[in-house]
Amino acid sequence: MSVGRRWAWSHPSYAPRNPSGGPAGPWAGVAPELWERWSWQQAERLRRYADVDRLLELTADERQAFVASADLFEVALTPYYASLIDPLDPSDPIRQQALPQRGELLRFPFELEDPLAEEAHMAAPGVTHRYPDRVLFYVTHNCPVYCRHCTRKRKVGDPESAQRRDELESGLRYIEQNRAVRDVLLSGGDPLTLSDVRLQELLERLARIEHVEVLRLGTRNPVTLPQRITPALCEVLRAYRPLYVHTHFNHPRECTEAAGLALERLADAGCVLGNQMVLLRGVNDDPALVLDLNRWLLRHRCRPYYIFQADMAEGITHFRTPLSKGLEIINHLRGHISGMGVPHFAVDLPGGLGKVTLTPETVLRREGSRYLMRNARGHTVWFHDVEEAGLPRADA
């Protein structure tokens, strides 16, 4: 790809358009029909240091991180996602998510290569069976963009971790033979990097298993490659009910016209949409910003589902915030948006011990059957409970 030196625009919330209707900036010469083709976006991903440096003019710290992390984790970002980056701002939230940062080179004794012990709980090739009724099915190592906060850096982007057909078959047989499994989450990598045909084969096979009641897809394509959400793909997904799609918007700058269209198409196809935001220092650790994000998601029929504390994975500690920040955000949301817009704030415990949800302190103290409670705005009031054995005495 031939790109020029830096460019800028006043509000890069959507890939800017030239008068012919195609993309502007360094992609001004790309035909609109190519830009909207997801296979072109995938093929033209920026992966080499020289291409990214010509596009954004990396800072000295970014250059150091890019070179030093080359053997640790792949770099890849679609032209679409790259077009959302402000090339003049090293602290740009999308830039931080997509490009190596110096913090990735630091190591701490508590960091883990596999923080959620997914490999230790792998019951069959690619199948992590950690909860009694649910399994995670790793079906691909590929993503349109390799997020720098990824918790699976040990395998995502590594061709050696790609699932072979015989391994996928072994995973499917395991699910078929375990009647306790009611819920299957297709993950990776990103399952939507598979072709429509291959994805349909997997969904069809799983849908035929009598004891499997819920199918889920974990995907960031609506964020990083919304062109992938084609009418043809939606026709494939329409056949499977219920199908839950968990996506991963982290910042309002990702909430573009194209991303909104992708969510609308998925919802129209009958998918139940939920968003899983990861709390990232310097990216989205601001209550007002998360409120804006969640309002946009609800407008596009995607319910905020989780805010995740960043895991104790290697090379992402610089992204982590204090737990108190997540609680502050939840408290702010409760005061300014309906319950539909307030996600769970969750920590996925190391060692495969599962998720725990944290909430702001609302019960201040108890006196007998009375509880002193505080709401999101700081007001306090006594709430009278009833006893386990029945109603309290009327003259009490």
Catalytic residue among 155, 311, 320, 334, which? 311
How high is the pLDDT of residue 14? 36
- Is the domain of 130 the same as that of 257? yes
**Last residue of some domain: 70, 105, 140?**
105
Active site annotation includes 348: yes
Catalytic residue among 37, 63, 102, 134, which? 134
7 pLDDT higher than 80 = no
Residue 396's pLDDT band (cuts 50, 70, 90): low
- Counting the structural domains of the chain, the total is 3
CB atoms within 10 A of CB 219: 27
Catalytic residue among 148, 152, 153, 154, which? 152
- Is the domain of 252 the same as that of 375? no
Strand 134-138 with 183-187, pairing = parallel
Report pLDDT digits (tens) over 42-60. 999 999 998 898 888 889 9
Active site annotation includes 150: yes
Measured CA to CA in angstroms, residue 36 lies from 13, 80, 84, 337 at distances of: 17, 9, 15, 34
- Is the domain of 142 the same as that of 237? yes
- Is the domain of 43 the same as that of 65? yes
The answer to whether the beta carbons of residues 145 and 250 sit under 8 Å apart is: no
Residue 373's pLDDT band (cuts 50, 70, 90): very high
Copy the structure tokens of residue 130: 């950690």
Which carries the bigger pLDDT value, residue 338 or residue 390?
A: 338
The CATH number of the domain where 176 resides is what?
A: 3.20.20.70
Catalytic residue among 92, 114, 143, 234, which? 143
Active site annotation includes 370: no
**Last residue of some domain: 40, 73, 105?**
105
19 in a structural domain: no
- Is the domain of 29 the same as that of 136? no
- Is the domain of 367 the same as that of 349? no
- Is the domain of 245 the same as that of 394? no
Instruction: Tell me how many degrees the CA angle 325-350-273 measures, rounded to the nearest 5.
Output: 65
Active site annotation includes 147: yes
Q: Which amino acid is at 371?
A: Y
Catalytic residue among 130, 198, 205, 281, which? 130
- Is the domain of 224 the same as that of 163? yes
- Round the average pLDDT of the chain to a whole number and report it: 91
Catalytic residue among 14, 147, 155, 174, which? 147
Sheet (strand 122-124) strand order? 122-124, 127-131, 134-138, 183-187, 214-218, 243-247, 272-279, 302-309, 344-349, 354-358
Catalytic residue among 86, 114, 285, 348, which? 348
What percent of the chain stands above pLDDT 90?
A: 78
Catalytic residue among 182, 281, 325, 355, which? 355
Report pLDDT digits (tens) over 215-263. 999 999 999 999 999 999 999 999 999 999 999 999 999 999 999 999 9
Active site annotation includes 255: no
Active site annotation includes 152: yes
Domain that residue 65 falls in: 25-105
Active site annotation includes 130: yes
- Is the domain of 214 the same as that of 136? yes
1 pLDDT higher than 60 = no
368 in a structural domain: yes
Catalytic residue among 14, 80, 114, 150, which? 150
Cα 1 → chain centroid: 28
Active site annotation includes 182: no
